[in-house]
């Protein structure tokens, strides 16, 4: 059995799964196993990941609209898929509301740097900073 996931690693698993959903991948056992990368998600981390995926799936349209509203001269289809996954994860996590927004932004920037290109971290940071600045601490756009 593999090592248990930390919260940051759980967030990274959610990032990988949101990325997979963006590629129209079915989140079956194989997709979960690949995202877990040999690690084990204890019950609290499993719930955390599932809550993020559930929020994203339920509100993807509103999440994407929130992102688009804060893009300058960009559209969703022009974004790097890794940058989009980091943005979607961050907005979903803000909507779940269990983690302080600065932590969410920092983690999203770290994921963008790890999986994206040289400027991905700055791009994700800029979009999320605008989104939170204009909306205050983001509220649920559906309500």
- pLDDT of residue 139 exceeding 50, the answer is no
- Measured in whole angstroms, the distance separating CA 55 from the mean position of its chain's CA atoms is 11
User: Whole-prediction pTM value?
Assistant: 0.89
* Per-residue pLDDT at 17: 95
pLDDT digits (tens, 9 = 90+) for 96-128: 988 999 999 999 999 999 999 999 999 999 999
* Per-residue pLDDT at 136: 58
Averaged pLDDT, 2-11:
87
**Torsion sign (Cα): 67, 92, 127, 130:** positive
Give 133's pLDDT tier (boundaries 50, 70, 90): confident
- Evaluate whether 53 touches 27 at the Cβ level (below 8 Å): yes
Half-sphere exposure of 9 (CA within 13 A, CB side): 15
Averaged pLDDT, 46-74:
93
Averaged pLDDT, 45-70:
94
Average pLDDT over all residues of the chain:
89
* Per-residue pLDDT at 105: 96
The conformation of residue 4, written as its DSSP 8-state character, comes to: B
- Measured in whole angstroms, the distance separating CA 117 from the mean position of its chain's CA atoms is 17
Give 134's pLDDT tier (boundaries 50, 70, 90): confident
Residue ranges and CATH numbers for the domains of the chain are 7-135 (1.10.940.10)
């Amino acid at each position: 059995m593999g090592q248990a996931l930390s919260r940051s690693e759980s967030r990274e698993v959610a990032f990988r799964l949101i990325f997979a959903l963006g590629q129209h991948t079915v989140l079956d056992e194989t997709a979960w196993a690949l995202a877990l990368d040999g690690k084990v998600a204890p019950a609290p981390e499993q719930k955390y990941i599932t809550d993020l995926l559930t929020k994203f799936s339920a509100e993807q349209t509103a999440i994407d609209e929130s992102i688009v509203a804060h893009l300058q001269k960009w559209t969703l289809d022009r974004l790097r898929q890794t940058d989009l996954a980091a943005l979607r994860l961050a907005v979903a996590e803000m909507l779940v509301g269990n983690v302080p927004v600065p932590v969410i932004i920092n983690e999203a920037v770290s994921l963008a740097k790890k999986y994206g290109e040289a400027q991905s971290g700055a791009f994700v940071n800029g979009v999320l900073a605008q989104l939170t600045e204009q909306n205050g601490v983001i509220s649920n756009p559906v309500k």
